[in-house]
Chains A and B, each alone.
Chain A
Amino acid sequence: MDYGEFEGVIGLEVHAQLLTESKLFCGCSTKFGAEPNAHTCPVCMGLPGALPVLNKKAVNYAIKLGLALNCTVNRKSIFARKNYYYPDLPKGYQISQYEEPICVNGHIYITTGNGKKKIRIRRIHLEEDAGKLIHEGTIETSSYTLVDFNRASIPLLEIVSEPDISTPREAVEYLKLLRSTLVYLEICDGNMEEGSLRCDANISVRKKGDTKFGTRTELKNLNSFRYIEKALDYEIRRQIETIKKGQQIIQETRLFNPDQGITYSMRGKEEAHDYRYFPDPDLLPLIVDEEWIETIKVTLPELPSEKMERFVQQYNLPQYDVEILCSEKELANYFEETVKLYPEPKAVSNWIMTEFLRELKETDVPIEKVKFRPQHLAELLYLIKDGKISIKIAKDMFPELFRKGISPKKYVEEKNILQISDESLIKQAVEKVILGHPKEVEEYKKGKEKLFGFFVGQVMKETKGRANPKLVNDILREKLKKQSE
């Protein structure tokens, strides 16, 4: 993605839904998929007289993320009301944080083509989610609309970056790292499709070397990594085109249409919003003392960035492997467990990144529930290493092993597919093939050496693929040589 004399200036606003059991200001369950309005009470329905009480766990999670993203955790933060009317907003305002958020001034390092890049985090604040509107058909044609408040007041963290991101690729890298950090911390499931992680982007462009920002647009609801990259790329190009045509960029909110791959303007009315933020008088300032922060600090796990660094050092793996392996804590654990049993990191990594991840994707099972455990993978790798089975056979039987979680050793024994390394057996097969294909042998003798592969194939067929390929090669070469003499 090269934009010539221009560069993109991107800041991301990410909403992460927190994995608390109850909502941000009441005791209602946050479980997904219940009957509409089953998880509601006077507080999250905004009934007259109901009052919010802050969920301390959500605060813990916010502090956790703040520490992981190298933020300052504010000793005092304020909940504010964001006032606007919408039927999914039961109180007519959203409780959020505005002037004094819980965390500020953080940063993370992403990996780019030119090495590490620092992306600063402006702020992280706690806020409540809105409910969900259900239209009959589409919003334009529906004769009525139903509201489900199950989601209303589920806790969210909004993570706002500084406009330090220059390319769509960097945006994706940032998001991936942010997502895996959230998942590592076990405070968000990171599921973009279900909306547990949502992203809005502020984008402008400027000539390389300029320090002044251009007029920005806001892109809303970018709900997959793929869309984000495409949408940002489109929007940057659109802005460059606009400027090149001598036109002005209009400050507006735009949406991405994934089918057409374009962004389009939302109605301009959005811009006229005045949210009239003010401190919520129903909630006292949130005071977080040193001791509280310390108790959270000790619970912090190894973070993705730390883990990746360690993997490079400890296992001597390429960056590419490390990023994939560390994208999920469970995957990294799986890798490390396997390496403990089979200490050849690169071989383990290769298997995980190819066969293992493919099966994982096809079966759609969470890693911790996969029946094929690290000891199975190690066993499989030993079978290959010891020449008991070929790589091809290992790959062939992998899907079944993966799905059933059977011991590879037992499997090959029971199915009688242990590799044939008995030279006399292979010799018999080779002789049979040579006798059976006099014409090809003649041609080979005349110098058509590429027929060698054909003979190998025939021998493998004869041994049902179980012959040790190295032995087949050696014996075949020797026998054919003898024929030629």
Chain B
Amino acid sequence: MREVLTMNIREIGTALKKGEFSALELTEFFLNRIEKYDGEIKSYLLVTRDLAKEMAKEADRRIRSGESGELLGIPIAVKDIICTKGIETTCASKILKGFIPPYDATVIKRLKREGYVLLGKVNMDEFAMGSSTENSAFQVTRNPWDKDRAPGGSSGGSAASVATGLCVASLGTDTGGSIRQPASFCGVFGLKPTYGAVSRFGLIAFASSLDQIGPLARCVTDLAILLKIIGGYDPSDSTSLPFSASDYTTFLGQDIKGLRIGIPKEYFTEGIDHEVKHGVEKVIGTLMKCGAEPVEISLPHTKYALATYYIICTAEASSNLARYDGVKYGLRMGGKDILDMYKKTRVNGFGKEVKRRILLGTYVLSSGYYEAYYRKASQVRTLIRRDFEEAFKLCEVIVTPTSPTTAFKLGEKIDDPLKMYLSDIFTIPANLAGLPAMSVPCGFDSQNLPIGIQLIGRPLDEGTIFKVAYVLEKETDLKKIPDEFSV
């Protein structure tokens, strides 16, 4: 059974069809691993054991009756920010403890249609605000490569569960790097699709103009399969792009001869760990060996990206999180009047980082400050987007480090928000520009911690990213699960 950890979704599907094992056996295999390993990793907030078995049995029935479904019997973990009908969805926040959505997110509907098995809901920074998953109100998730270190965040539960082999793949969300940075820290693949490529309906909003759902997995093939399923136009999300997702697996194995790889000089300056830098340079060498042509490009407004991001995302968050007032669902703290109830509920319901961002966001939208902050940030965002438009005239894909460092220690940055924010400095621009970007494992540093590189593509050109990522996957052939969890 252990071989399933190195199989992609299609290979598992074939094995299921051949009857090598049943979907129920597969699900139980993962449930047992969760039982065995998640006590120390703590990636799951909720394991939907009984439901998973039911879904697996249903998948077995569908397989037997010859029904099709690209995910029939495939066990998947879902970040706890995505609404699952009838299953508690907390956003790792006390304020949503006990909230049971009466509806499925569009991505969940699409996974269900293909016959997936939900293993459970995985941990994250509260409301996806953070880069280490330490902001979860419920538990601290550990990096399987070094349990004293953070798995990254905010989709730390997703990345850790994939890297520990506690699911086949996971859905995460990415607002400023929340899929790519933890994927990088945990040595797995993570894709943030083009803004609008995947429906946000049912994704609990942090910053609506930046949030995107995407897959994390141990191979590029699985990302390609999952994107095809979850991607494509959804009439219930007004920002959804009018396109239908194609079969991205056709890009896998295509050669990259003559492909121009943009290397932005602004990404290789101060603050970047030399081992990370070296890792990225090695990748560029590999790509050149395979026929790609490196091109130096410039993204001159990169230095403003972090500030711009923290104005826009906090502004949107301050408004998006206003609905948690204790009136309709989630936590309610009694008060002597309505104002008192609001205050007590929100003071007790939200964690420190969430409050910090609500305050920041409220400030930048306030009368008298709006022009200087929010409007200015929106203008700079346009400039950043234009930087990329210019750069993509010279290249097809851009290569950068995913994060300036490999996984940092738990507790190391939690009291220094600015240091924590810098962890996303390379991932944020793609969100601001709405571009697709993937983190690809490219090796290990001297402490045996995974290094990730980021591939940024043109809008809706996930195909080129898949093509390059697949070449790297084959060329590097790295371990995706630490030895201690491979037994």
How far, in angstroms, from A433 to B148 measured CA to CA in the complex? 122
Chain B contacts with A in 102-145, Cβ cutoff 8 A = 102-103, 105
How far, in angstroms, from A318 to B316 measured CA to CA in the complex? 58
How far, in angstroms, from A47 to B319 measured CA to CA in the complex? 14
Given contacts A45-B328, A276-B367, contact A282 B239 (CB under 8 A): yes
B323 within 8 A of A: yes
Chain A contacts with B in 45-103, Cβ cutoff 8 A = 45-54, 81, 83, 85, 87, 90-93
B238 engages A92 (CB within 8 Å) = no
How far, in angstroms, from A53 to B239 measured CA to CA in the complex? 9
The prevalent SS among residues of A at the interface is: loop
A49 engages B205 (CB within 8 Å) = yes
B238 engages A283 (CB within 8 Å) = yes
Given contacts A92-B319, A282-B239, contact A51 B201 (CB under 8 A): yes
Residues of the B chain whose Cβ atoms lie less than 8 Å from the Cβ of A83:
318-319, 322, 365
A281 within 8 A of B: yes
How far, in angstroms, from A278 to B318 measured CA to CA in the complex? 11
B323 engages A49 (CB within 8 Å) = no
How far, in angstroms, from A283 to B316 measured CA to CA in the complex? 13
B338 within 8 A of A: yes
The prevalent SS among residues of B at the interface is: loop
Given contacts A53-B235, A83-B365, A283-B238, contact A48 B204 (CB under 8 A): yes
Closest to B368 in A: A274
Residues of the B chain whose Cβ atoms lie less than 8 Å from the Cβ of A283:
238-239
How far, in angstroms, from A8 to B325 measured CA to CA in the complex? 42
B208 engages A281 (CB within 8 Å) = yes
A48 engages B89 (CB within 8 Å) = yes
What is the minimal beta-carbon distance from A213 to any residue of chain B, in angstroms?
21
Q: Which of B201, B238, B324, B329 has the most CB of A within 10 A?
A: B238
B244 within 8 A of A: no
Closest to A92 in B: B322
Residues of the A chain whose Cβ atoms lie less than 8 Å from the Cβ of B37:
none
A281 engages B209 (CB within 8 Å) = yes
Residues of the B chain whose Cβ atoms lie less than 8 Å from the Cβ of A49:
82-83, 101, 105, 200-205
Residues of the A chain whose Cβ atoms lie less than 8 Å from the Cβ of B365:
83, 276-278
Residues of the A chain whose Cβ atoms lie less than 8 Å from the Cβ of B319:
81, 83, 92-93, 276, 278
Residue interface mask B58-100, A partner, CB < 8 A = 1: 0000000000000000000000001100000101000010010
Residues of the B chain whose Cβ atoms lie less than 8 Å from the Cβ of A274:
366-367
How far, in angstroms, from A277 to B366 measured CA to CA in the complex? 8
A147 within 8 A of B: yes
A284 within 8 A of B: yes
Residues of the B chain whose Cβ atoms lie less than 8 Å from the Cβ of A36:
none
B246 within 8 A of A: no
B374 within 8 A of A: yes
Q: Taking beta carbons and an 8 Å cutoff, which residues of B are in contact with A?
A: 82-83, 89, 91, 96, 99, 101-103, 105, 200-205, 207-209, 235-239, 315-316, 318-319, 321-325, 327-329, 338, 342, 362, 365-367, 370, 374
A-B contact pairs, 12 of them (CB 8 A): A42-B103, A47-B103, A50-B103, A51-B200, A54-B238, A81-B319, A92-B322, A92-B325, A276-B319, A281-B208, A282-B205, A282-B238
